């Protein structure tokens, strides 16, 4: 099987295109369950964050798998956001492996070394396992990506001082000297950034949690967590020393807020222009800064046209974080070496996986001959003599097959030389045609 990656990210598509292809955990699981493991697709997983949506597929034929995946996405996204175009990219084989490993290491994030992404890769893998669409190839791929990400954070300094998208937004709001985008101050009213200000955090997931935790370090006057469910909102409020309320109280807290960070996983805006317009009428001209960290967007874009509302979507982050990237960028070459090392390990495993039926058949062939000869020559031998002969002949067969086994596992089945090597072995020892692997087999 061939590994296929189809995706869009913050480098290839704007927020409008990304949100049209965004999938929450439940949606991703439903899509994978509907997609199944039939046709050209034998395994599948989807990684969907605010900066990317990527589909990883183990395919028997790449073009057919691409069409099959597009058709499945069209069933739930009628505007056909995965159709071929400049907004999407395609990777196959080792290139797809390297891409996911770079993602897991934080090298492909909007903010290099993003602390959230490794957890999001782990979640994507878990969703695929629960949907029953992850098999031997994707299991190994995602485990390798998680291992590479952990290596990057323990063997290099890419994680030292690393900021997530959430913390980057908080820093933008907190430091007026760097908080400029599109020619104006991000926080035009606040002389001291977030210090002494009333903050509202909408959502209680990981992105919202990180925003609240970082904001707390700047000594705000208050932090209010607004969430759909009381339990998660109360837990986060307790963690940051704030208060909490449900969504029906959002209009009230907006009247008192100075800065709003919104980071839910809702599929439709949770903060409408009408709600903000009503709040601004009560605020009597006091400006309100709103950061929308979500994809799909939490805040209706038209809300940015309301007088006094300073609305910023997630894409604005890139314009102000570059100055803080020097230390992390210095670690990139070391992390790239980890990615290359882990990619090579994966490819070695994958080549060995393709050779497994031939290796197993070859060893079975020699073992059958070994046992036949032992039975013929030692029919009247004692148990001790037979035991010694068994150890001797087993060791001899292992020695004889060691080099052929290594050479077969090292053969690249995608190359002419690799295919010739595997086929020649089957022909020389009359091993027959290799069985067609099923999804649950490691071959």
The verdict on residue 396 lying in a domain is: yes
Average pLDDT score over the chain? 87
The boundaries of the domain holding residue 349 are 339-428
Assess whether 50 and 133 both reside in one domain. Answer: yes
Res. 187: pLDDT tops 60? no
Confidence of residue 193 (pLDDT cuts 50, 70, 90): confident
Res. 131: pLDDT tops 50? yes
pLDDT above 90 covers what percent of the chain? 59
The verdict on residue 353 lying in a domain is: yes
Assess whether 207 and 262 both reside in one domain. Answer: yes
Assess whether 296 and 367 both reside in one domain. Answer: no
The verdict on residue 137 lying in a domain is: yes
Assess whether 179 and 106 both reside in one domain. Answer: no
Assess whether 127 and 51 both reside in one domain. Answer: yes
Assess whether 169 and 196 both reside in one domain. Answer: yes
Res. 181: pLDDT tops 70? no
Domain edge (last residue) among 263, 283, 318: 318
The verdict on residue 360 lying in a domain is: yes
Q: Whole-model pTM?
A: 0.67
Structure tokens at 85: 């175009």
The predicted-structure confidence for 357-379, as pLDDT tens digits, reads as follows 888 888 888 989 999 999 888 88
Res. 55: pLDDT tops 50? yes
| CA-based nearest residue to 309, from 279, 345, 266, 339 | 279
Domain edge (last residue) among 254, 289, 318: 318
What number is the average pLDDT over the span 227-240? 94
The verdict on residue 267 lying in a domain is: yes
The verdict on residue 436 lying in a domain is: no
Assess whether 150 and 10 both reside in one domain. Answer: yes
Res. 397: pLDDT tops 80? yes
The verdict on residue 331 lying in a domain is: no
Domain edge (last residue) among 288, 318, 348: 318
The verdict on residue 439 lying in a domain is: no
Q: Which residue has the tokens 């509907």?
A: 34
Assess whether 47 and 129 both reside in one domain. Answer: yes
The least confident of 39-43, 176-180, 211-215 is 176-180
Structure tokens at 1: 């099987």
- Which residues are marked as active site? 50
| CA-based nearest residue to 244, from 224, 259, 261, 229 | 224
Distances (CA, A) of 258 to 146, 216, 224, 273, 283: 39, 14, 11, 17, 10
Q: Which CATH number does the domain housing residue 58 bear? A: 3.30.460.30
Res. 106: pLDDT tops 70? yes
Number of domains within the chain: 3
Assess whether 170 and 310 both reside in one domain. Answer: yes
The least confident of 145-154, 259-268, 347-356 is 347-356
Assess whether 188 and 246 both reside in one domain. Answer: yes
Res. 178: pLDDT tops 50? no
The least confident of 144-158, 168-182, 207-221, 248-262 is 168-182
Q: Which CATH number does the domain housing residue 260 bear? A: 3.40.50.720
What number is the average pLDDT over the span 173-196? 55
Assess whether 149 and 171 both reside in one domain. Answer: no
Check if the beta carbon of residue 104 is closer than 8 Å to that of residue 146. Answer: yes
Assess whether 15 and 137 both reside in one domain. Answer: yes
Apex 214 CA angle, 213 and 215, nearest 5: 95
């Amino acid at each position: 099987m061939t590994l296929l990656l189809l995706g869009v990210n913050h480098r290839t598509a704007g927020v409008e295109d990304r949100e049209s292809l965004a999938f929450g955990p439940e949606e991703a699981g439903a899509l994978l369950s509907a997609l199944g493991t039939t046709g050209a697709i034998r395994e599948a997983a989807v990684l969907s964050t605010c900066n990317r949506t990527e589909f990883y597929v183990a395919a028997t034929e790449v073009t057919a798998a691409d069409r099959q995946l597009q058709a499945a996405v069209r069933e739930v996204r009628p505007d056909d956001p995965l159709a071929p175009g400049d907004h999407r990219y395609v990777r196959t084989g080792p290139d797809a492996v390297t891409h996911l490993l770079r993602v897991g290491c934080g090298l492909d994030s909007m903010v290099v070394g993003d602390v959230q992404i490794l957890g999001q890769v782990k979640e994507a893998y878990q969703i695929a396992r629960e949907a029953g669409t992850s098999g031997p190839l994707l299991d190994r791929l995602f485990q390798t990506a998680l291992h590479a990400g952990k290596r990057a954070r323990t063997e290099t300094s890419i994680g030292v001082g690393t900021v997530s998208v959430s913390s980057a937004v908080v820093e933008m709001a907190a430091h007026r000297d760097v908080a400029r985008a599109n020619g104006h101050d991000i926080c035009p009213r606040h002389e001291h950034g977030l210090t002494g200000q009333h903050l509202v955090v909408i959502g209680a997931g990981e992105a919202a949690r990180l925003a609240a935790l970082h904001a707390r370090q700047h000594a705000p006057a208050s932090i209010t967590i607004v969430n759909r469910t009381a339990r998660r909102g109360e837990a986060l409020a307790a963690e940051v020393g704030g208060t909490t309320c449900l969504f029906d109280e959002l209009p009230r807290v907006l009247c008192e807020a100075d800065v709003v960070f919104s980071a839910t996983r809702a599929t439709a805006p949770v903060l409408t222009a009408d709600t903000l317009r009503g709040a601004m009428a009560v605020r009597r001209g006091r400006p309100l800064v709103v950061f929308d960290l979500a994809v799909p967007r939490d805040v209706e874009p038209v809300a940015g046209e309301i007088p006094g509302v300073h609305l910023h979507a997630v894409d604005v982050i890139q314009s102000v974080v570059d100055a803080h990237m020097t230390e992390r960028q210095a670690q990139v070459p070391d992390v790239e070496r980890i990615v290359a090392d882990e990619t090579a390990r994966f490819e070695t495993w994958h080549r060995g996986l393709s050779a497994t039926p031939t290796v197993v058949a070859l060893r079975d062939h020699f073992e059958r001959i070994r046992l036949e000869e032992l039975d013929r020559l030692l029919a009247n031998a004692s148990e001790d003599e037979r035991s010694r002969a068994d150890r001797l002949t087993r060791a001899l067969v292992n020695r004889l097959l060691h080099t052929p086994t290594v050479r077969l596992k090292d053969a690249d089945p995608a190359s002419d030389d690799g295919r010739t090597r595997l086929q020649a072995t089957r022909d020389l020892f009359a091993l027959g045609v290799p069985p067609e692997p099923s999804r649950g087999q490691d071959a």
